[in-house]
Structure 1
C-alpha cells in the first residue's frame, strides 16, 4: 500500500515518519500494513453548514477502525457560501488544489471527503479526482425545515422575505424572527439548492453510499451512513477501486439526468463540468441540454416546488427517484459500494407521491437545464425551466442595462429608472473574471416600482450565477463573459432582446455591423488585481461553459505515484 512508503520503511526514514505520529498515542502495530484512510474535513465555524463535521468525522473513524483501517483526519480550506467574500466560487479552485496536494503529499491509501456547503463538495471531489486514489464522499446532510408563523420555510423563502421587507410588508423584527426560525438545526440548506444538488450529484455519480443525499443532518442515520462509509473505505482500498473506475462517461450522464429530475441548481453545470475535466471525461454544455430534455421533474421540492429535502428522504430518498428513472439511466454503472446503480435502487420505493412523481405523472413536464445559444451567448447560456415563469419563456423586451453590480445597486430602486414589466434586466461584468469569481447575483431583485405593481418576475440576463435556492426567469452563465469582450458587454439600454427557451435561443436584435462598431470601442475592464491568488485566478480561469476551472488543472494527472518520492 502507498502508506507503507512512509510507515513501512526501516532505518532513519521509517523512524522519522513514525516517531512524530506516535506522539498522538498511536501504538506501533497501527503502522504495520493497515490501510490508512485520510478523512478530509471541511469543518469550520465560519462554514455553518459544516459546523457539525467534528462529530461526523468521529463516526467515520469508528467505521474505519472496525474494518481494520487506520483513520487520520486532516483539514483543508473550507468555503462557507453565506460568509466568505467576495464569493465562495472564487476560492473553489484554490480549495481543490489544497485537497489535491494534501492527499498527494501525505501517507494515505484512501480518502473520505466530508463536505456540505455548496463549494466544499465540488472542490474536494475535483482535488481527489486529480490524485485518483480510492475515494468516498460523506455529505453533511440538509437541515430540518424551518418553521415561521405556522408555515415551513427554507432558504428559498429568503428571496420572498426580501421582497416583502423591501416593500414594507415585513418589519425588521419579523425579518430577524424569520432568521432564527429558518436555520434551526445543523446541516446545509433544506431545499434543493446547490448544496443538496451537490450531495445528489455525488450519490448519482456513484461516489457516495445510497441515501447520502437526503438523510437530514440532525438524523442519527447520518452518523450511521458516515460509519458505514468508513468501513467501505477500507474495503475500497483493498479492492483498488479509484474514482477513474467509477467516473465514466455513463456516470456523468446519469448525474445529469438525475439532476434534471430533481430540478437541481444551475451551478451543477459548472461543478460537474469541472470534475469531468479533472478526471478526463469529455463533457460539453450541450450534453446537459440533450440529456435533460427527455427528463420531466419528478420531485416536488423548493425552489421549483413545495417541499423540502427532508421530505424527500421520508418519501424514499434519492434511491426512489433513481429507481423511477432507471429505464433512462445507465443502470450498470459501478458505485463505491461495489454494486451497480441499478442494484442499489432495486428495492427502493416511493412512500409519498406528493413528493416524488413518476415518468407517467411527473410534478412538471419541464426540468433540468436549458442551454441557450445566439449572438448574445455564442458559447452558451443557461436557464432553469422548472423555476421560471411559463409566460416569459418566449419573450421580447427592451434592455435595461447595469454595467456592474455597483451600478445595479445604485439604480435598481431609483423611481426614475426607465423600466416596465416587459423589460429585460441585463447585468454585466459579474462573470468568472469580471467580478472576479462569478458571484450569485444573477437573480436580481426586481425594481421597487415593479414590485409595487404586483409583478414578481422579469427576464433577467447576466454572465454571473444564482443561488440554487433562487428562482425566476433568469438567464445565467452567458459566455463569453462581458469582461473579456463577449457580446453581453455591448448591450445598450433600449436594445431589444428575445428569449426563446423552446427553441433554445437568446438573441440581441443588433446587426453584426453594429456589434462590430461597438466592439471597436470596447475597453477591457481594469480589474486591479496584480498579486496573489486572485491574480492567478484571473489569468488562468476558464469561461463558464468550460467549468470555471484553471486551465492548468484540466486533464487528470493520473496516479498519485507520479509525484511520490522520498
Structure 2
C-alpha cells in the first residue's frame, strides 16, 4: 500500500492505531485523530511499512519463490500487473521443467530469507512463519538459527515501524534485490540457491549493483548500517525456557526491570492503557494469548500501539505468549514459550512481581526464587478452554509450541 500523507508526514495503518493512544493520553485532539484515520490507508495493498505481509513477501523473494522486485511494488501501480504476467509465465515454465517447491525451499533458502529479514528490519512474525514453513518442507530450522544469522547480518534499511521510510520507498531505492546483492557480496547469502525461474540467486542478481545508490538513504551502505547486527533476538530465561522473540533495535533502553502488570487478555490490557493505568517502569504481561490459550495466537497491535501513542514506548516493557503485528516496536517480547495455557512460567506471574527484560544479555527473567516458582507451579490449574467443540477446540488440542512454529501436525 502506498503511504497516506498528512501535514508532510507519511502515514500507514499503524499511524491510526497509535493515534488512538495519543488521543487517549490527551496528546492530540479529535480533529487530528479523525484526520489520521481518514488519510492512513489511501488505497489497495498490504500495510505500507516493513510489517508482516511485506516482510513475508520479501522473504519469499529472498528464497527464490517469487520474481525479483515483486515484493515491494505498490499494489496499484502498472508494474504490478506486468509482474503478475511475468509471474504466470514463470509458473508455467516451472511446471514444464518440474521445478518443485521443495527443490527451492532448501536450508540455504531459509538462511537467505532470515538474512534478508534481518537486513530490512522485518516482522517478528517471520520467525513463527518460517519455522512453520520449514517444518512443512521437511527442512531443519530452529529458533537459535535466527540468533546465529542475526549476529552476522547488519540492519541496512531504515524502514517503518521503527524507522523513517515505507515499503514503496525501499522499492524506489532498489528493493529487495539491492539488499540481497549486498548480502551476497559480503558472504551473507547463498548464491547457489535455486529460484523459481531455474536460475540461481547469483544469476538472478548478476546485474544488480554491489552498492546502493548514493542519492537515497533508505538502504544504507554496508560500512554504515543502521545497526551492526540484526534486530530479531531470541531471549531465554526462566520466563522463556523454550525461547521468546524480541525486536531489539530502535529502543533507547534495551534493559528494563520493573513490576509486573498482569492481564489475562489483550482487551483487558488495552482498557488499562487507555485509562492511564500503566506507568513508566511497568512491565506489562499479556498471557493466555498463545497458540493454545488464544486459541490462535492473536497479535497485540492495539495495546502496543496505544503504549507508543501514550508516549510510553521507551518507558515500559511488555511480554506476551501471543504475537505482535509487524507494525509493533518498542521494548516488547512475544512468542514466550512455554505459553500460559500449558503452565509456562508466564502463567505463574503475580501482579507486582519483578521482571527483567535484558535484550543485550538475551534474558527474560522472573525475579523470584526457584522454590517460590515451584510452589506456584504446584498449585497452578489450567483455566477452562474457551472452546470445547468445533475447529478452534480441535486447533487448541493439536497446536504445538510457538518455539517450533505453532504447527498442528507435530508428533
Map 1:139-218 → 2, pairs under 5 A: 143-218=1-76
Which residue number corresponds to residue 68 of structure 1? none
Q: Secondary structure at the match of 1:503?
A: coil
Q: Does 1:461 align with 2:306?
A: no
CA gap 1:475/1:214 in 2 versus in 1, 3 angstroms: same
Offset, 1:466: 1.0
TM-score by length of 2: 0.93
Q: Does 1:423 align with 2:282?
A: yes
Contact 1:443 1:470 in 2 (8 A): no
* Partners of 1:147 and 1:446 in 2: CA distance: 19
TM-score by length of 1: 0.68
Map 1:337-348 → 2, pairs under 5 A: 337-348=197-208
* Partners of 1:426 and 1:513 in 2: CA distance: 22
Which residue number corresponds to residue 438 of structure 1? 297
Q: Does 1:306 align with 2:167?
A: no
Contact 2:337 2:401 in 1 (8 A): yes
Higher RCO (CA-CA < 8 Å; seq separation 6+): 2
Q: Which runs of 5+ in 1 are unaligned?
A: 1-142, 555-566
Which residue number corresponds to residue 244 of structure 1? 102
Question: Where do 4+ consecutive residues of structure 1 move more than 6 Å?
Answer: none
Task: Map Cα deviations across residues 389-430 of structure 1 (whole Å, 9 max, x no partner).
Answer: 132x12221212123334324544556x4x541221111111
Q: Does 1:267 align with 2:128?
A: no
* Partners of 2:354 and 2:396 in 1: CA distance: 31
Contact 2:301 2:328 in 1 (8 A): no
Q: Secondary structure at the match of 2:89?
A: helix
Offset, 1:502: 1.4
Contact 1:163 1:445 in 2 (8 A): no
Q: Secondary structure at the match of 1:476?
A: strand
Contact 1:285 1:545 in 2 (8 A): yes
* Partners of 1:423 and 1:258 in 2: CA distance: 33
Offset, 1:154: 1.4
* Partners of 2:301 and 2:48 in 1: CA distance: 21
Offset, 1:451: 7.5
Contact 2:131 2:405 in 1 (8 A): yes
1:397 to 251, 258, 274: 258
Map 1:54-203 → 2, pairs under 5 A: 143-203=1-61
Offset, 1:295: 1.1
Range with greater deviation from structure 2 (245-254 or 406-415)? 406-415
Map 1:46-57 → 2, pairs under 5 A: none
Which residue number corresponds to residue 242 of structure 2? 379
Offset, 1:474: 0.3
Which residue number corresponds to residue 13 of structure 1? none
* Partners of 2:386 and 2:176 in 1: CA distance: 45
2:228 to 351, 354, 365: 365
* Partners of 2:201 and 2:163 in 1: CA distance: 26
Range with greater deviation from structure 2 (375-384 or 524-533)? 524-533
Task: Map Cα deviations across residues 284-335 of structure 1 (whole Å, 9 max, x no partner).
Answer: 0111111112111111111121011101111111100101111211111110
CA gap 1:462/1:314 in 2 versus in 1, 3 angstroms: same
Task: Map Cα deviations across residues 494-528 of structure 1 (whole Å, 9 max, x no partner).
Answer: 21112221121111111121111111111112123
Query: How many pairs were matched up?
Result: 405
Range with greater deviation from structure 2 (173-182 or 284-293)? 173-182
* Partners of 2:220 and 2:409 in 1: CA distance: 41
CA gap 1:300/1:329 in 2 versus in 1, 3 angstroms: same
CA gap 1:446/1:547 in 2 versus in 1, 3 angstroms: closer
Q: Does 1:355 align with 2:214?
A: no
